Amino acid sequence: MRTTKELLELLLVNIDALKFGLCALALDLCRHEIINKYEYNSLLIYIDNNRCGNYYQKDCDYFWKPGSKKPRKVWLEQQIAYLDGFYKIEKIVKISFI
């Protein structure tokens, strides 16, 4: 299974195919066998656990206007940058124990 960072990068690379939201885009990637069902579920969990904090509308699962790519692209870039730093720190810690 790919890392969360790699999965988010796949979402970012395919952002032009977005029709509704990131969860639907992840489902499209799964349907086209770009990611498997475990990676799809991993993405859904990550998206749910790292929500931006605002809902687009009350009683709505979207955080941005459905189909709007720019805020989702920014969010993906921020998450990838965060995870990039996390993985670098994790590698340093593992190396220091050797």
pLDDT for 51: 80
pLDDT in tens, 8-50: 999 999 999 999 999 999 999 999 999 999 999 999 999 988 8
Segment 55-64 shows an average pLDDT of: 65
The total number of structural domains in the chain stands at 1
pTM as predicted: 0.80
User: Which residue in 11, 36, 33, 34 sits closest to 24, CA to CA?
Assistant: 11
Give the 3-state secondary structure of residue 5.
helix
Is the Cα torsion angle 32, 60, 65, 50 positive or negative in sign? negative
Has residue 3 got a pLDDT over 80?
A: yes
Question: Would you place residue 90 in the very low, low, confident or very high pLDDT band (cuts 50, 70, 90)?
Answer: low
Q: State the residue range of the domain holding 30.
A: 4-96
User: Which residue in 66, 61, 27, 59 sits closest to 44, CA to CA?
Assistant: 27
In total, the chain counts a number of residues equal to 98
